[in-house]
Structure 1
Amino acid sequence: MIADFFKNTVIAAYFSGIFRPKVLVLITFMISIIAMNGFAQTLTEVENLIVKADSYKNTDPKQAMAFASNALEIARKQNHKPSLARSHRYIGVLHFMTGELNQARSHFDSAYVLYVTLKDEKGIAASLNNIGVVFQEVGEYDKAIYNFNKSIRLKMKLGDTAGAAGGLLNTGTIYSYRGENIKAVSTFKQVIGIAARSRDTSRLIDAGINLATVYINEKKPDSALLLLQKALKMAEKTGDDYSKAYCLNNIGGVYQNTFRNDEAIDYFNRALALRDDLGDIAGLATTLDNLGKMYIRLGDFDMALDCFFQGLQYNQQLDDKRSTSITMNSMGELLLKQGDFDGAVAYLRQGILIAAQLDLKQDIRIMYSNMALALSAQQQFDSAQVYMQKYAGLSSASVSKSENDNPETGALQDIENQRMHFKINYLAIGLAISIFLILVWLFSEQKRRR
């Protein structure tokens, strides 16, 4: 599973299965939260402090929080509701960027209530999007989509096409998590078109990173690398270190997928160092997972396990259920390689439980195959067969669903061809594992007869 956020082998980490998907992308949906022009008039002193905070948000989050907190205190003293709403929402953004999701949700909720009181539709729409982002981060995808859709409809009503693109960006990310790649590609391309017309560099970076993640899942590394390198240049030009770290991590993922090991480790380490400087806990967890996968490939299991444990602690600290599930799978895979079948089954069970709750079809498919192997090693062949049937059924259903839901033909034909390639690969893997299980069963039967 490799990757950053989206997160199999490498890509999957990013994505699919061998590595595990979360890793790669995920990426930058937070940026759509920042712009706040056009809301109810705020006090000049408050606005100036928030502008100062915004100039520090990517380079010195603590200083940004100090300015924003001063703005909130001034708004409270004067009981100025527009300024209170503005300050709460911006502080929520800062908490989100540093992985403090409960605090972020609290401030976004406060901003939403104030905007409703003020009948400020722009503020309501923005706050709904922010609340949706928090739900997205903790894996409550149905709630996230509910809030995103309300926000998108309201923004479209107000003629805020660029703002609606932020909600589309977030929705596309959820499609990616769920393995609905055709819908994700279509959605991210809409965002890129809107952002290009409005010259919104932040959303161009975000959509590029996320679309690259889908391409990684679709095994189109050249297309993914091109998008990520372009996004990296834009991030460096604008001083957006958070997006730069995402790009570095995901470029490392592309190299990991294409077995350019030295380059992969170099980019992961660069991302890790930058995310450490930024205090980006969620990002650290993702990159640690990717490095763990690389160490497994290089045969350094102790270093791999250390990376996974650190990443798991970060994910649990953030209550990031999806990433926790992915890391559980990574640890299960490692223990399986080391011959600790009981430990592998224990971690895989936990990962499967979480992935099932979140309806993460792409992630859980990988876990099913790993669980089948672990149970076979324990000679629990009946149970292993159950998981292989789940794996095969989910693989077929996933491919069929994506094909049936595809509304386009021409531009996405290449992706359809890739999907057929995946289907053949899945069938081959399933056949190989089935043969393995049969051989193990025959061996056990011979031993019993003796």
Structure 2
Amino acid sequence: MIRESATRIFPVTLFVLLGIVFALSANMSSGATRQFEQRADSLCALGDMVRLDSLVAIERFSTYKLVREKLERYFDTGDERVLYNVNCLAAAIDRNFGDRFYSWQVGKYRDWRQQSREQRSEAKRRFGEAILSLGASANDSLTGLFESVAGQFLRLGDSAAAVRAQQYAGSALSQPASDKRALQTLSLSLAIARGIGDLDGTARSLNLIGGAYQKSGYSLKAGAYFDSARVLRTTLQDDKGLADCLSNISAVYLSLDQLPESYRFAAEALRIRYQFGDTAQICQSLLNMISAFRHDRPPDEVESWLEEARALTKALDEPLLRARLLQADGMFAEDNGEIDSAITYYNSVLAMPVTGENARLAVSLLTNLAILHSSQGNYEVALKCYVRALDRSQGAGNQGALASVLHNIGTVYQQLGDATAAVKYFQRSLDIRRQLALPNEMVETLNNLGEIYTTADDLSTASEYFQQAADIARVYDNPRLLANSLMAQAQLDQQRGDYPAAMAKLDSAMTTYQRQSDAQRGFDVQIIRSDYARLNRDFAGAEE
């Protein structure tokens, strides 16, 4: 299973060279945390070290968290009963893992207690008020407040709290990854966490930095940070945190057009979430999988995801999940040819308040609508949807989404026959995609540019774009996109009258599709191959 290995899934250098929602909440719910503490306290009181050792071995991460909380409570109150339980848990940690966690924490909280009670209370109060303010909206002034609180915690000797405050500082910025200050803030939290040996804080900082890059479209860069966080979560035996990392890695593979790998990590994240009965996260996983894999998995399997997501959403008071469920209903209606129903679903979600607060969801819905209207020939309506999506993606600082919207606008103009406008938008999209180093997306845009110049009978320029697309697809080992580019180049060869070259490229495309078990695309190539053979009076070739 994936969780059993702490080795890296893919080379970090890949993501460093190429270029999710921030998870700042605790991994255990407040109710689960209280139950765990009560069970641990009961075993300590009974002196049942065998069962306590078993509990600590299974819940290593939760035990670390509880020891930190109890130490802070003891040094604040002087309650000897709390200290007894802390020592009991610390002994179990030593017996199971033999690490220096307890001594680090004791040293930290001893320094903490030496400060005045008023200073400690003031730091906690400011931190709590800042977190409450963050719930209203992210802004740069709150970043400054969190940074100030982090500095106060550092001066008081509470490095772990300083790490958390720095992490909040990074998430408070309205456009995290597009602002160097945000990355500097999150990098500082990472440095502090590493310096004090806080593995949980280190993993959280890595995930936050990855999430910041992912949010702004740098999904390839994000992969290295998510993978590093995964390694730490595996070491900590923190399965809930591990599930988040696996889900994030799945999104990276999805952006690389590697659907089997993306599905593998998404399914493992879902399996772990089932183990803990985390209803909201299970629902989130199911909705993500519906969106990503509904065309690649068996229909019965996808329908079961949707039915389960519906049942879970009814039990939750989560506006965002309800919105995403309605969007999934729209996708199913669209796939079944129920266009009017799909449009109604998408528009109903757009009208929900939660969509106004979530730019990513809004851009996704507007893109759904635009694609539907384009498929119906309603290009003017589609353009209006894309313009709205353009405004939202620019406002959110999401460069990846911006590049996609620009590409889609270019596609509409291409369908309208306005080559000048189409090239302008494709070039803007290509510039961003090159900056973000998104190979699949670059190939997509390069192929569209090649098609435009083919239509304009500028075969030399078209050939350059198709060749660039094929080279990128070959370097990044994307067989599907490589085959598509080969087919486009074959069309050019046929127009030039170079029949042997055209057939050779079609044969290469056919072989690639066969290796990918893509029977439909292989059949399409065979039809084109037969047409070319007849045009060139190669009747034997037409019968192959």
TM-score (norm 2): 0.60
Structure with bigger RCO (C-alpha 8 Å, 6+ apart):
1
Q: Which residue of 1 aligns with 2:48?
A: none
Q: Which piece of structure 1 moves more, 330-339 or 343-352?
A: 343-352
Residues 49 and 244 (structure 1), Cα distance of their counterparts in 2 relative to 1, 3 Å cut: farther
CA contact (8 A) 1:341 1:377 kept: no
CA contact (8 A) 2:214 2:222 kept: yes
Counterpart among 340, 343, 347 of residue 262 in structure 1: 340
CA distance in 1, matches of 2:260, 2:528: 28
Counterpart among 242, 264, 271 of residue 186 in structure 1: 264
How far 1:171 sits from its partner (Å)? 0.7
CA contact (8 A) 1:275 1:283 kept: no
CA distance in 2, matches of 1:288, 1:306: 9
Q: Which residue of 2 aligns with 1:304?
A: 382
How far 1:181 sits from its partner (Å)? 0.8
How far 1:165 sits from its partner (Å)? 1.9
How far 1:175 sits from its partner (Å)? 0.3
Q: Which piece of structure 1 moves more, 184-193 or 252-261?
A: 252-261
Q: Give the greater-gyration-radius structure (CA).
A: 2
CA distance in 1, matches of 2:304, 2:440: 25
CA contact (8 A) 1:392 1:430 kept: no
Q: Which amino acid aligns with 2:517?
A: M
Counterpart among 127, 132, 143 of residue 210 in structure 2: 132
Counterpart among 407, 421, 425 of residue 521 in structure 2: 425
CA offset digits 1:47-104 (Å, max 9, x no partner): 79988998998xx644999999988876665655433332343454565xx7655476
> 3-state DSSP class of the match of 1:139?
coil
> 3-state DSSP class of the match of 2:457?
coil
> 3-state DSSP class of the match of 2:214?
helix
Q: Which piece of structure 1 moves more, 189-198 or 131-140?
A: 131-140
**Mapping for residues 9-408 of structure 1, pairs under 5 Å:** 29-30=20-21, 32-35=23-26, 39=65, 40-41=68-69, 61-62=136-137, 79-80=155-156, 81-90=159-168, 92-93=170-171, 101=177, 102=179, 105=183, 107-218=185-296, 220=298, 223-274=301-352, 278-388=356-466, 394=473, 398-399=478-479
CA distance in 1, matches of 2:369, 2:403: 17
Q: Which amino acid aligns with 1:30?
A: V
CA contact (8 A) 2:313 2:321 kept: yes
How far 1:367 sits from its partner (Å)? 3.0
CA distance in 1, matches of 2:526, 2:354: 40
Residues 377 and 108 (structure 1), Cα distance of their counterparts in 2 relative to 1, 3 Å cut: same
Q: Which amino acid aligns with 1:398?
A: N
CA distance in 2, matches of 1:426, 1:320: 36
CA distance in 2, matches of 1:387, 1:191: 39
CA distance in 2, matches of 1:365, 1:435: 26
CA contact (8 A) 1:46 1:83 kept: no
Residues 269 and 295 (structure 1), Cα distance of their counterparts in 2 relative to 1, 3 Å cut: same
CA contact (8 A) 2:138 2:171 kept: no
CA distance in 1, matches of 2:350, 2:308: 20
CA contact (8 A) 2:374 2:382 kept: yes
CA distance in 2, matches of 1:361, 1:324: 16
CA distance in 2, matches of 1:77, 1:50: 10
Q: Which amino acid aligns with 2:312?
A: M
CA contact (8 A) 1:86 1:111 kept: yes
Residues 323 and 373 (structure 1), Cα distance of their counterparts in 2 relative to 1, 3 Å cut: same
CA distance in 2, matches of 1:112, 1:142: 20
CA distance in 2, matches of 1:430, 1:49: 69
CA distance in 1, matches of 2:522, 2:467: 13
CA distance in 2, matches of 1:150, 1:383: 42
Q: Which residue of 1 aligns with 2:32?
A: none
CA contact (8 A) 2:514 2:522 kept: no
CA distance in 2, matches of 1:128, 1:383: 43
CA distance in 1, matches of 2:314, 2:127: 23
CA distance in 2, matches of 1:71, 1:33: 14
Residues 125 and 276 (structure 1), Cα distance of their counterparts in 2 relative to 1, 3 Å cut: closer
Residues 71 and 207 (structure 1), Cα distance of their counterparts in 2 relative to 1, 3 Å cut: same
Q: Which amino acid aligns with 1:177?
A: S
CA distance in 1, matches of 2:526, 2:449: 13
The percentage of counterpart residues that share the same residue type is 19
Q: CA RMSD in A?
A: 4.2
Residues 111 and 425 (structure 1), Cα distance of their counterparts in 2 relative to 1, 3 Å cut: same
> 3-state DSSP class of the match of 1:348?
helix
CA offset digits 1:269-325 (Å, max 9, x no partner): 232223655511222222212211122223332221122122123223333232122
Residues 361 and 220 (structure 1), Cα distance of their counterparts in 2 relative to 1, 3 Å cut: farther
Residues 181 and 431 (structure 1), Cα distance of their counterparts in 2 relative to 1, 3 Å cut: same
TM-score (norm 1): 0.71
Q: Number of aligned residue pairs: give it.
A: 392
CA contact (8 A) 1:188 1:207 kept: yes
CA contact (8 A) 1:245 1:275 kept: no
CA distance in 2, matches of 1:175, 1:434: 36
CA distance in 2, matches of 1:230, 1:52: 38
CA distance in 1, matches of 2:457, 2:204: 54
CA distance in 1, matches of 2:392, 2:355: 16
> 3-state DSSP class of the match of 1:30?
coil
5+ unaligned residues in a row in structure 2: which ranges?
Answer: 1-19, 29-63, 73-119, 483-512, 536-544
Residues 163 and 290 (structure 1), Cα distance of their counterparts in 2 relative to 1, 3 Å cut: same
Q: Which piece of structure 1 moves more, 133-142 or 286-295?
A: 133-142
Q: Which amino acid aligns with 1:424?
A: Q
Residues 366 and 220 (structure 1), Cα distance of their counterparts in 2 relative to 1, 3 Å cut: farther
Q: Which amino acid aligns with 1:348?
A: F
